[in-house]
Amino acid sequence: MQQKISILIIEDEKSIRDFMKKTLESYGYRAEGVATGTEGLGMINSYVPDLVLLDLGLPDLDGLEIIEETRKWSSMPIIVISARNQENEKVEALDLGADDYITKPFGTDELLARIRTAIRHNNLIHKEKGKADKPYIAKSLKIDFEKRLVLLNGEEIHLTRVEYKIVSMLAKNSGKILTYANLIEEVWGPHADDNNRILRVNMANIRRKLEQNTGEPEYIFTELGVGYRMLEDEGEN
């Protein structure tokens, strides 16, 4: 019998905590809920869940502290669920190591989809360590990382070296938000100017090459003020 995926909910609002716990259990997850950051950190260390759903506005600790402490020793997926919708707080949570960010109120379908993506991505990181990257496949787009080849509808798409680095990083983290700062550091190095203009210019060029309609992208989505998210890889589903 397959062991159930365990999820820890750190949320001080009892009605929301109970709702999430009941919903997750009805979809086959094993869920535990706590109301404070102190309890949450204790449960993370002792319970070691497969995934954490974390509210930032806790009564005793800021949720950002929990992300920071957890990332000192674990890569377990952390999805922030918060009423805070300021872009700088989303960016800070993601840059500290959160895997995703959902703003309240949210729907059940959205929550479950984000959980599936975070768990899948975390499993791939561990499963594929030391192995060659499998191709990214979604709709009509295929990226062969070994051959550095990008195919759309079976035809090769020419990307510049920088454009390929951006697309490759997004594809290897498909379904996950990558912040502007994270992309800039990975592509241009840690001492690069953190101005987003050069990234936006490259992204506009990438979209002209990959998207049928740049105003309604199919593959690379903008998380306004935060970063970009690439359509989830279908090759591992």
The answer on 150 and 90 residing in a single domain is no
Summarised one tens digit per residue, pLDDT across range 89-136 is 888 999 898 999 998 888 999 999 899 988 887 776 554 444 457 899
The answer on 181 and 70 residing in a single domain is no
The answer on 204 and 166 residing in a single domain is yes
Domain range for 190 is 136-230
Name beta bridge partners: 103.
82
In the chain, what percentage of residues exceed pLDDT 90? 61
Distance of alpha carbon 28 from the chain centroid:
22
The answer on 46 and 115 residing in a single domain is yes
Summarised one tens digit per residue, pLDDT across range 188-234 is 877 677 778 889 999 999 999 999 999 899 999 998 889 999 999 88
The answer on 163 and 99 residing in a single domain is no
Q: Which pLDDT band, with edges at 50, 70 and 90, does 236 fall under? A: low
- Residue 21: give its domain's CATH number: 3.40.50.2300
The answer on 75 and 47 residing in a single domain is yes
Distance of alpha carbon 119 from the chain centroid:
10
Burial of 186 (0-12, 13-18, 19+ CB in 10 A): middle
pTM of the predicted protein model: 0.75
164 in any annotated domain: yes
In this predicted structure, what is the pLDDT of residue 64? 93
- Residue 189: give its domain's CATH number: 1.10.10.10
* Domain closes at, from 127, 156, 180: 127
